[in-house]
Amino acid sequence: MIYADEFPDEPKKGELNEDFGLYVDRTFYIVTQMKSNRYIEMVDNKWMVIKTPNGRKGQEWWFDQGSLTVRSRQNNKSFNIENSGKNINMQVWATNS
C-alpha cells in the first residue's frame, strides 16, 4: 500500500523513466547490432526499415511518458510489431493511450 501523498511523481521532460530505461522526450536513434550499425527508419509514415544514418526525422525517436510509448519525431506516431509481436514486420500507428 502507498498513500497518495507519498506516491512518487512521474518523470518529467529530460528525466529518466527508470522502469523503461528511457529519458522522457529526449531524441534517440535505434541502432542495429549489425556490423554496419545501421539505423531504424520510418518510411511512408507507416513501415520501418534499416538504413544508413542520414539525419532524417524518420530515424529520430523519443519516449512519451503520457502513453509510455516510443514515438517518431517525423509524425509523432508510435511503433509496434505486427500480430502482437509474433511477426517480423514493424509498423507505425497513432497512439491514443
Q: Model confidence over 47-94: pLDDT tens digits?
A: 888 999 999 999 999 999 998 999 999 999 988 777 877 888 777 788
Q: Which pLDDT value is given to residue 60?
A: 96
Q: Which pLDDT value is given to residue 19?
A: 93
> How many Å apart are CA 49 and CA 13, to the nearest integer?
28
User: What is the model's pTM?
Assistant: 0.82
The domain segmentation of the chain, as residue ranges, is 32-97
> How many Å apart are CA 46 and CA 23, to the nearest integer?
24
Q: Provide the 10 A C-beta neighbour count for residue 4.
A: 5
